[in-house]
Amino acid sequence: MASIKIERLNHAFQEEISMILMTEIKDEDIKFVTITGVETTSDLSYAKVYFTVLDDTKRKSTLEALNGAASFIRGKLAERVEVRHTPELKFIYDTSIEYGNHIDEIIDNINKEENK
């Protein structure tokens, strides 16, 4: 379980990365990205940044664009969040929303079968 300090940093990183993507990045592949969470290691050396995109067909190109811009985003993050060491960022597509939608479909199908 992450410490309270790490949880606060994760939340701050999530907010600031979202703002950086909205205001500092001009890449069209990154326009419709939502940062859904950040998991930072306890030594602050690495952070997994989870995201989703509005247009699911651009998932791969968005992932490549985000990981390509990771060092730029990390530099901007260092300017905005005061920590001794800004973690190295790794962007990962968040499948939890898709999984949740899949579970909803299963529940809906079960309910339809019961109502017949």
Q: Is 12 exposed, middle or buried (0-12, 13-18, 19+ CB in 10 A)?
A: middle
What pTM does this model have?
A: 0.83
Judged against a pLDDT cut of 70, whether residue 2 lies above it is answered with no
Q: Residues 35-54: pLDDT tens digits?
A: 999 999 999 999 999 999 98
Specify the residue for token string 């979202």: 18
**CATH code (residue 65):** 3.30.300.20
Give the pLDDT band (50/70/90) at residue 6: very high
Domain extent, residue 74, equals 4-115
Count of domains for the chain: 1
The CB density around residue 69, as the number of other CB atoms within 10 Å, is 20
